[in-house]
Amino acid sequence: MMGELRFQTTDSGCLRLTGTLNYAAVTPVFWRQSKNLLSNAPSPLHIDLQGITHSDSTGVALLLAWLRLAYKQNKKISFVNLPDQMRAIIHVSELEKLFYES
């Protein structure tokens, strides 16, 4: 399925998220898998979003949920190569401190 949301691990240990990041893509199954993956990942964890072809506010909500999960587990998490769509939502929502100063 083209645009399917999936994780890949890079050679450097970074997690790369690819595909379309919208409401339809963030299924309960994907959420459980991502929670398990993040719970077992080392800290600090870097998630590369360069492979995201489209995102909406659901994508930003998912990243916020991951930040919260990492915080609860006393882990550091950062996002690199955020798509312009996500940057715009983060800016309009005044969430820059959470994403850029952690």
Torsion angle of C-alpha atoms 76, 64, 36, 42, degrees rounded to 10: -10
pTM: 0.89
pLDDT in tens, 19-63: 999 999 999 999 999 999 888 888 899 999 999 999 999 999 999
pLDDT in tens, 52-84: 999 999 999 999 999 999 999 999 999 999 999
Residue 60's φ and ψ, nearest 5 degrees, are -65, -40
> Which long-range CB contacts under 8 A does 35-40 form with residues at least 24 apart?
35/69, 37/7, 38/66, 38/69, 38/70, 38/75, 38/77, 39/69, 39/73
We find that the CATH architecture of domain 6-100 is: 2-Layer Sandwich (3.30)
Q: What is the structure's pLDDT at 55?
A: 93
Rounded distance, CA 22 to CA 68, Å? 19
Q: What is the structure's pLDDT at 2?
A: 47
pLDDT band per the 50, 70, 90 thresholds, residue 1: very low
Residue 44 in tokens: 């600090």
Q: Structural domain boundaries of the chain?
A: 6-100
Q: At residue 13, does pLDDT exceed 90?
A: no
Q: What is the DSSP letter of 9?
A: E
